[in-house]
């Protein structure tokens, strides 16, 4: 099922370069995690779509199986991560071997990699699918494209050159 997620906060943004594989022999993948407040009503539509995909593969009891952890749910509670950033949040990570298209609010391609970062507001176009392979069962998401909606607090600590040098005159000395 092809869907566009609600807008949320980007985390672990590997949309311009793939992330190295954690396991030997696995290929690198592009990926993006989006965070939402756990009480955000927009997330209900995403959960409903996940349940529809699960029901199509596993039958009418799939929603209960997702809730009990008998099926892997791609929409996970922030408590699954040991990070303050994830507290009181839910998140979804989508991955792809293919580079996603990254666009701005007007659907124009973002060329500057500094423009999309962990902490910005975004949404993603994903493909949800159910799987049952080698004892692993659940729903997963493939990353198709990403849209930056707005700025946010950059999580990397890195800033753009424009920000770094904006308040300096040509005669100013940089501070340590």
Q: pLDDT for 71-117, tens place per residue?
A: 999 999 999 888 888 999 999 999 999 999 999 999 999 989 889 99
User: Which has the higher per-residue pLDDT, 148 or 171?
Assistant: 148
Residue 101 lies in a domain: yes
For residue 169, pLDDT beyond 70: no
Residue 170 lies in a domain: no
- Give the total number of structural domains in the chain: 1
pTM of this structure: 0.85
Q: Which residues in 6-29 are b (16+ Cβ under 10 Å) and which e?
A: ebbbbbebbbbebeeeeeeeeeeb
Residue 171 lies in a domain: no
For residue 152, pLDDT beyond 70: yes
Residue 56 lies in a domain: yes
Q: pLDDT for 16-67, tens place per residue?
A: 999 887 777 788 999 999 999 999 999 999 999 999 999 999 999 999 999 9
For residue 163, pLDDT beyond 80: no
Could you tell me how far CA 171 lies from the centroid of its own chain? 42
The CATH number of residue 96's host domain is: 2.40.50.140
Residue 172 lies in a domain: no
Question: Count of CB atoms within 10 A of residue 37's CB?
Answer: 14
The pLDDT of residue 82: 83
> In which band, very low, low, confident or very high, does the pLDDT at 158 lie, cut at 50, 70 and 90?
low
- Residue in 22, 138, 134, 36 with CA at minimum distance from that of residue 85: 36
Residue 175 lies in a domain: no
The pLDDT of residue 154: 87
Residue 23 lies in a domain: yes
Question: Count of CB atoms within 10 A of residue 101's CB?
Answer: 14
Residue 80 lies in a domain: yes
- Residue in 58, 148, 62, 41 with CA at minimum distance from that of residue 105: 148
Give me the mean pLDDT over the 134-161 stretch.
88
> In which band, very low, low, confident or very high, does the pLDDT at 138 lie, cut at 50, 70 and 90?
very high
Question: Residue for token digits 């920000």?
Answer: 163
For residue 173, pLDDT beyond 70: no
Domain that holds residue 6: 2-165
Rounded alpha-carbon distances, angstroms, from residue 130 to 34, 71, 165: 20, 9, 49
Rounded alpha-carbon distances, angstroms, from residue 133 to 22, 83, 130, 155: 20, 30, 10, 35
Alpha carbon distance 148, 122 (integer Å): 4
Question: Count of CB atoms within 10 A of residue 74's CB?
Answer: 19
End-to-end CA distance of the chain: 52
């Amino acid at each position: 099922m092809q869907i566009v997620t609600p807008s949320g906060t980007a985390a672990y943004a590997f949309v311009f370069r793939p992330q190295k594989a954690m396991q030997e022999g696995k290929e690198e993948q592009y990926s993006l995690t989006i965070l939402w407040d756990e009480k955000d009503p927009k997330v209900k539509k995403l959960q409903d779509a996940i349940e529809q995909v699960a029901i199509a593969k596993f039958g009418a009891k799939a929603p209960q199986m997702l809730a009990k952890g008998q099926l892997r749910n791609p929409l996970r509670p922030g408590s699954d991560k040991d990070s303050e950033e994830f507290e009181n949040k839910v998140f979804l990570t989508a991955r792809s071997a293919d580079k996603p298209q990254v666009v701005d609010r007007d659907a124009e391609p973002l060329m500057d990699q500094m423009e999309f970062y962990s902490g910005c507001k975004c949404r993603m176009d994903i493909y949800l699918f159910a799987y049952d392979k080698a004892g692993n069962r659940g729903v997963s998401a493939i990353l198709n494209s990403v849209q930056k909606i707005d700025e946010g607090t950059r999580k990397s600590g890195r800033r753009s050159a424009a920000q770094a040098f904006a308040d300096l005159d040509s005669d100013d000395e940089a501070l340590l």
